[in-house]
Amino acid sequence: MSVEIPVGRKASVKVPASSANLGPGFDTLGLALSLYDHVEVEVVESGLEVVVSGEGEGEVPLDERHLVVKALRAALKAADVTAPGLRVVCTNAIPQSRGMGSSASAAAAGVAAANGLADFALDNDTMVQLASTFEGHPDNAAASILGAGIVSWTNTPIDGRTAPQYFARRIEVHPDIKATAFIPDFHASTEAVRRVLPSDISHLDARFNVSRTAVMTVALRDDPSLLWEGTRDRMHQTYRAEVLPVTAEWVNRLRNLGYPAYLSGAGPTIMVLSTNPVERSLVEEAQGRGMKVLELDVAGPVTVEVSG
C-alpha cells in the first residue's frame, strides 16, 4: 500500500546542465556542467500548480504535460508513495533546445525531487533508468544525476515489448579541464537533427569512433593533452553540418586553431573542452555574431534539500 507524503513537505533541487557525445561518444559519453536549473516541489492539499521562470517561460506547458511533472509522477510511483497535490516551481538557466541537456535536466530534476520527498528510496541506477526513459538514451540524464563525466549504455530487448534498460557509470574528470560553450541564438530540434543521420556507416568510420571514444575516456580522467584527438568524430557531426551550418563552421574553425571543439548533443551549441581559455578575440567575435559564450566548470551531481 502506497504511503502518502505529508502536506507541507518540500524538495529543493539544483540540477546541472550537460553536454553529450563529446565528439565520438554518440549516445554514450556525457559531462555535467556548472549551469543550473532550480526546481522546488511542495506537497499541497490538492491539485497541481506549475510555475516557470527564466528559460522556457511562456513556452512550456504548465500542467501534467510538463516534463518535470511527468518525471516526478513516474518516480513517486517507483518509490511507492503518493502526494495529494503538488506545487512545482522551476527557475531555469539552462537554454532550451540548444544541446545542453535542458530536457534531460528537467527529467532528472523531477526524479530527484520525488526521491527526496520519498526519503531517498531510489538508488542512482533507478534514477538513471527513470530519467533516461523520457530521453530514449541516458547520456545527458545520467550526467545530470551522477555529475562529472559519464559512460552510458542501453540494452534494448529483442522482443520489442520490454522497455529498454539504461545504465551509466561516473568518470572523475581531470581538475584542469574546463568547458566553454558557444551558444547560437536559435533552437535545434533533436528529432530533426537525428533525421539527417545515415542508417549505416562504414566499418572504417565505426572503428575510428570506437578508438576515439576510448581515447576520450583517458583524456577526461588522466590526460587532457589528448582532448583534441579524443573529440574527433566520423559518426554524426559531418552529417549534421548540413542542417547546422553555423555550428559546423565554428567547430571546424576552432579545431583548426587547436581547440578541442565539438557539437554538443544535437546542437546547436559548440563546446570546447580544454585546460586553457579560448582566445578573447574569438569569444568577442562569436558574441558579435549573436552567440552567448559561457565559461563553465565540470559540475557535481544533482542535489536535493528536503524540509517539512
SS3 content of the chain, % helix, strand, coil (to 5): 35, 30, 40
CA-CA distance, 141 to 229, in Å (whole number)? 25
Calpha distance 255→233 (Å, rounded): 12
Output the CA torsion sign for 238, 196, 18, 234: negative
Question: Any known ligand binding at 103?
Answer: yes
What is the Cα–Cα distance from 25 to 170, expressed in whole angstroms?
A: 15
Residue 101 in marked binding region: yes
100 assigned binding-site residue: yes
Reference 154, options 145, 146, 163; nearest CA is 163
Greatest C-alpha distance within the chain: 62
- Tell whether residue 102 is among the known ligand binding residues: yes
Give the DSSP H/E element, type plus range, for residue 238.
Answer: helix 237-240
CB atoms within 10 A of CB 6: 11
What's the grid cell of residue 116? 527526496
CA dihedral 306, 107, 266, 140 (to 10 degrees): 60
Residue 152 known to bind ligand: no
Q: Is 96 annotated as a binding residue?
A: yes
Q: Is 136 part of any known ligand binding site?
A: no
Q: Look up residue 178 and give its amino acid.
A: K
Question: Binding site for ATP: which residues?
Answer: 95-105
Question: Binding site: which residues?
Answer: 95-105
